A and B are shown apart, each in its own frame.
Chain A
Amino acid sequence: MERLIRDLVISAGLVFPQLVWADKVVFEETVKPFFEEHCVSCHGTQKSKGDITVHTLRGEMVEGDLEHWELVLEMLEDGEMPPEDEPQPDAKSREAVAKWIESGLRHYVEKESKVAVATTTRRLTNFEYQNTMRDLLGFELELSRDLPADPDKPYHFNNTAQMMMIGPDQLIRYKEAARKAMASAIVDSGKPELHQSSAKWDHGKPGKGGLTQAEIGVYQGPGLGKKTMGLKSWPKTGEFKLRVKASGNLPPGFQEVPLRLVMGTSLRHDSGSGICHEVGVVHLTNTPDNPGEYEFRGRIENVPVQPSSTHRNKVRPPSITVTAQNIFDNGELNDHRKSGFDASWSLEAPRVVLESIEFEAPVSEIWPPEHHTRILFESSLRENKPAEYVYEVIKRFMTRAFRRPVARDEVDHYYRVFKVYDAEFETLEEAMRETLAMVLVSPQFLFHTVIDQAAATKPYELASRLSYFLWGSMPDEELFDLAASGELDDSAVIEAQTRRLLSDKRAEGFVENFSTQWLSIAKMKTVNINRDLFPRFLYTVHLGERRGQEQLFRPTIRDYMLEETVGFVGELIKTNASVMSVIDSDFAYLNEPLAAHYGVDGVRGLTLRAIPVKPEHRLGGLLTQGAMLIGNSTGSAPHPIYRAVWLREAILGHEVKPPPAEVPALSDSAGHSADEAVSIKDLLALHRQQESCADCHVRLDPWGIPFERYSAIGKYQPLVPKEKVRVRGFHLKTDKTLADYQEYLKSIYTEEVDASSRVPHGPEVDGMSELKRYLLKERQGEIVENVIRRLLTYSIGRKLTYRDRFEVERLLKLAKGNGYKLQDIIVSVCQSPTFTNNP
């Protein structure tokens, strides 16, 4: 918006701007007088707020200006301009001006714009890279953690072509990752050496702490709450198997206990050192008289190894530790102490009974493994016509890696690469690893490309677009087949495929990747929670040098909150619910710790699922979820500005400008210290009194105030302390139990939170329920349009421009007729010519 009309003026002075629209009559009679009356006083020669001037506008629309005209149009349509405190134009002339601009845009888009509109070639995101390698190779290898992080920008997707850059450093990493992948995918000939380790524990008499040797209680201190086994040896690559014999010691009232297995370095809860890889979780419901055997599998390459070290002149070899944990969590584990879990929980809560662990690698029931023969397939050709065999191996691999049939000259090329390696390596396996690694650093693999004027590859490009949109990965056999047969052209086939892809497990990755970026929730994990004010929110270490800090190595309530939001969106897609459920819904997506946090009874276990909620729970929709509320708080207090920005960006689809340079901070401008307990509403009011702040904040703050009854940790909290009263933290000496501390809080939380504000161009709303009601009733169009725009942007990997405006309009209309159903909207996006690249 900044350079809007300034640019209009500049480009009008260009040498040969192509004139795309001119309706001088309407311009002179309606548009020009409108701008003169309502705009020029702030955006003219005297003042140019937001760096915008309109006094030189002429009655023509030229190419290059169109994006800016669209912004003017949006301002008019959304009622953002003229500002509320200025005289308002009547609806008729506002509409007439909007229509004039809109007709111009439509005219251009329909008649003149048949050319390619934007860069579509972009490299795979790390998320797509990881998934593609998984599906290409047939096993999960963690590769993306060694690639440079993708650029990220709040509320934007990281898959837009402009942002996805590549450089030599990135390319080196791709090469390393590709070689690592091929080292695992192709095995050497001959039966591998088997590596085995095992450990046993006795489930006999309870010891001093009340637990038997085989029992694992919930974590309560250094060295407790886990059992470990060191591996004697392990192969460099390959699949491994962990078999455990286990059961649950379940006190009355408990149905299950979760056992989690991780592998990596030795985990030190007290010093916080160690890294691990999760192998799996099993929810044990069987009792010790009936122990079960459970098998987990994984890839040894993904397991962090403790490097060799020297200690008192003794060399310790590299090591891998298997750790079994009891991750039971009912949200109330540390309710009795300053930090850490109450020791009594280790007996009151369910215990894991772990009788044995057996490790074996590589898994070799079928040898060579399937992922090997998928590449170096069994054939007599290998012996008889080696050159032909090599050619065929390369061709098959390339076809899948390039996600389309490959041309002869392309295969020839990699055959030449093979020859280079073949000359120096002794075995076919070695030379092939290197050759195929180069296929994996080729631009055809690393980039999403659209081959110009090539009808033959078009269906494959569409197959890829579908799979990368909904799976973040390469197409599967079925999509390839449909592309080959030409059936993918049919919109009924696209619909069926879209629904099939969405119902596949791989779609979970899409939902997570899309929701996390759309809602910008990742930051909630690093908000610094004030542990004095919220002594119970985090599980903290109660001994050692990390005393008082959050426990590591187990899922936390914040992990569950991220899963809650992602799972919620997934549930809307799965059940084809209305998009408006993002504002309010009759269910929440919870597990036991989350339910305990939000005050919902009767939810058991760690598995998140849709739980019906009642109005008194004050849940439903995205607005009251922890990920949003915590991510947009300070960790001590709610932050109405962050929350307002979130609502406007993520839900209403506005672009909110960051504060300009030289703007004093909130507390400075208000002349108060933020440390004092001045109500935030007063503080904001003072901030708005400053002219420099007012322009933006009158349109911002009102959206955040209604969130004020939700605390920094996302709990409903209608009462706060009086002004200038400082809340003291939990003291074990003063407060014997949590109940005592809660009594204390009750005694000082005496003031009702003021959460009423008048939304711009809207009514007065008091608190969350009224805000939701208003959004549901008055802002439907905007909210649904935003979701459509987000989906479309994400699906095609580029920003939308004025050219896409009319397609978005069409999709919105379609959605409206369909009850705004989310899965149907995704289908319509996939059928859209903008997506299929088939205008």
Chain B
Amino acid sequence: MTQKSWHLDRREFIRGGGAALALPFLQGMSWGKTTPGKALPKRMVVSYIAYGVYEPKNKDGSHHDWSWWPCKEAGPLSFNQSASPFKPLVNSVSYLRGLEHAGGVGMGGHSSGDVFATGADMSGTEKTNNISVDQFAAKMSGHKTRYASLVLGTEGGTGSYGSAKTLSHYGPGRPIPSLHRPQEIFNRLFNPYAGKGIEQVRADLKREASVLDLMMEDSRKLQGRLGKEDQVKVEEYLDSIRALEKRVERTSQWTHESLPDVDTKGLNLEVSHKDPEEYTRCMYDLLYLAFQTDSTRFATLMLESEHSSGSEMWNYANYVLGYKGATHDIAHKRPTESGKWDNWRAKQHAYFLDRLRNTPEGESNMLDQTVVVWGSAHPHASHSTKNYPIQVAGGKALGFKHGKLHSYEGENKVPLANLFVSMLNAVDAPVEQFADSSGEMTELTG
């Protein structure tokens, strides 16, 4: 396992990674076409689907209509039935076949989702995972927006090792709990002062900073009184306090910028899992609003975890398709439900991409300023941990080129982390290496 060589001290990363509050330089509204002289935002999204995708093959060698992959051969894209929602977006999407994270191969299909956005060697030397690609970017460029990043999921929390319910990690042993309640996400994004006046907020923050200082002091004393193993646990706490201190600092800076005025029309923040389409779109809408108001530029969205049996996600396929079984089981069944399920998921994702594309920004649109990864680390029915389904969309103004299916099978094999390196370099988070990467994804950016 090659060592990661980041440009920044790793320890610093872990500590500072928590600082997830920062400001938009425009007052809330979208960038539109009239912001001469200022750089347009460069954004990144990683979005995850679980329980595999359907990858059947026709006996006569032709491409299967319900395969998750839009077409059979590498080269220009054509779209089968399953991937048809992306047809109108043909010039903005690419498919990458044959990629995976080596660090997840030994984890088992229901666990490799843990490393989807990190590429950490969890089956080897990085048992507690490592920093995710969005947090790496947030660390470098997160200060440009009110929130350094936005971590969304549909089940909430962190999950545990091997069954993550979040894609994002500050660093080893530091998963970030994902937010999953629309109303709460909305409030945290757009109503952070909970109705308080700005002077009040500033006074509160100032006081909070002094109190945190005191807390730090006292906790250190406690730490000294504990056994060695236990000191490590309190160190986790101290790290959190340090991160909060930084957050307070940033939040106070951002109080000088007014909050965006967000139109909630058409947003049903009360929506529940009982209405999968409305819920999923609401999550995508919130993500869209966060971008449109430039509240953040880096986000992850775990649409499904690989262990959803305790949540309503388990019943999504039933609510959506009337399928008589758990969403997970659909991966093991033949054939139309599985294809229809993929198609439904594709529709939701296409909805998001389309919304970005329809919003003008600078000379083009928001999609061109946003690179979006969509896929899974649990490719198909056999619980394999290889050959992830990966779609990359958007980011054309950041140097990405689209319209093709690229094959990395056999001799063309490269680490999936190469894609992360290209993405990071495209969003002002320059890096030479990330996780086990061996270079850049030049086919997409070159």
Contact = CB atoms under 8 A, between A and B. Distances in A.
Partners in one complex: yes
B22 to A, nearest CB: 14
A452 B157 contact: no
Interface in A381-428: 409-410, 413, 416-417, 420-421, 424
A321 B181 CA distance: 22
Interface string B228-242: 111011101101110
Interface stretch (B169-177, B281-289, B342-350, B437-445): B169-177
A169 B176 CA distance: 7
Contacts of B161: 151, 163
B202 interface: no
Contacts of A444: 222
Given A168-B243, A634-B325, A636-B324, A417 B214 contact: yes
A441 B215 contact: yes
A683 to B, nearest CB: 12
Contact of A636 (B175, B236, B325): B325
Interface residues of A, number: 73
Nearest to A441: B215
Interface stretch (A582-590, A597-605, A655-663): A655-663
Given A122-B233, A148-B157, A168 B309 contact: no
B399 interface: no
A39 interface: no
B240 A168 contact: yes
B349 to A, nearest CB: 24
Name, among B160, B207, B381, the residue most crowded by chain A CB atoms within 10 Å (CB to CB): B160
B127 to A, nearest CB: 10
A675 B329 CA distance: 12
Contacts of B270: 273
A171 B241 contact: yes
B218 A413 contact: yes
Given A438-B211, A528-B315, A635-B325, A443 B219 contact: yes
A410 B226 CA distance: 15
Interface stretch (B42-50, B73-81, B83-91, B104-112): B104-112
Nearest to A274: B270
A668 B384 CA distance: 14
Interface in A743-774: none
B244 A165 contact: no
Contacts of B10: none
Interface stretch (A113-121, A478-486, A610-618, A814-822): A113-121
Contacts of B170: 167
Contact of A167 (B18, B109, B310, B386): B18
A234 to B, nearest CB: 19
Given A420-B210, A635-B325, A161 B157 contact: no
B324 A532 contact: yes
Nearest to A548: B322
Interface in A627-673: 634-636, 658-668, 673
B280 interface: no
Nearest to A122: B233
B108 A121 contact: no
Contacts, number: 206
A446 B222 CA distance: 13
A166 B324 contact: no
A122 B237 CA distance: 11
Interface stretch (A4-12, A72-80, A251-259, A519-527): A519-527
Contact of B240 (A118, A170, A417): A170
B439 to A, nearest CB: 26
A661 B384 contact: yes
A153 B214 contact: no
B169 to A, nearest CB: 10
A663 B161 CA distance: 22
B156 A409 contact: no
A119 B381 contact: no
B383 interface: yes
Contacts of B247: 168
A674 B381 contact: no
A665 to B, nearest CB: 4
Interface string A319-357: 000000000000000000000000000000000000000
A121 B230 contact: yes
Given A634-B325, A674-B333, A450 B230 contact: yes
A443 B157 contact: no
B214 A420 contact: yes
Interface in A228-285: 272-273
Contacts of A454: 225
A449 B383 contact: no
B18 A447 contact: no
Interface residues of B, number: 79
A451 interface: yes
Contacts of B156: 148-149
B163 interface: yes
B162 interface: yes
Contacts of B243: 167-168
Contact of B160 (A163, A659, A661): A163
A37 interface: no
Name, among A165, A172, A442, the residue most crowded by chain B CB atoms within 10 Å (CB to CB): A165
Contact of A152 (B160, B236, B272, B382): B160
B160 A153 contact: yes
A152 B159 CA distance: 6
A530 interface: yes
A119 B332 contact: no
B253 interface: no
Interface string B95-131: 0000000000111111110000000000000000000
B318 A528 contact: yes
Given A153-B162, A171-B244, A449 B226 contact: yes
Given A442-B219, A526-B311, A675-B334, A451 B225 contact: yes
Contacts of B108: 658-661
B158 interface: yes
A354 to B, nearest CB: 28
B217 interface: yes
Contact of A153 (B163, B203, B383): B163
Given A153-B163, A167-B174, A168-B244, A530 B324 contact: yes
A442 B173 CA distance: 21
Contact of B157 (A149, A635, A662): A149
B274 interface: yes
Contacts of B222: 443-444, 449
B324 A119 contact: no
B87 to A, nearest CB: 30
B241 to A, nearest CB: 7
A150 interface: yes
A45 to B, nearest CB: 21
Interface in B306-327: 309-312, 314-315, 318, 324-326
B272 A272 contact: yes
A413 to B, nearest CB: 5
A165 B158 contact: yes
B333 A675 contact: yes
Contacts of B214: 413, 416-417, 420
A658 B239 CA distance: 34
A526 B211 CA distance: 44
22 contacts: A119-B232, A148-B158, A148-B177, A153-B163, A163-B161, A168-B18, A413-B214, A416-B214, A424-B207, A447-B237, A452-B230, A526-B311, A526-B326, A527-B314, A528-B325, A549-B274, A636-B325, A661-B385, A662-B383, A662-B385, A663-B383, A667-B334
- Which 6 residue pairs of A and B lie closest in terms of their CB atoms, listed nearest first? A151-B160, A149-B157, A148-B177, A121-B230, A168-B18, A168-B243
Given A454-B225, A528-B325, A636-B324, 7 more contacts: A167-B239, A424-B203, A526-B312, A527-B314, A658-B108, A662-B382, A667-B334
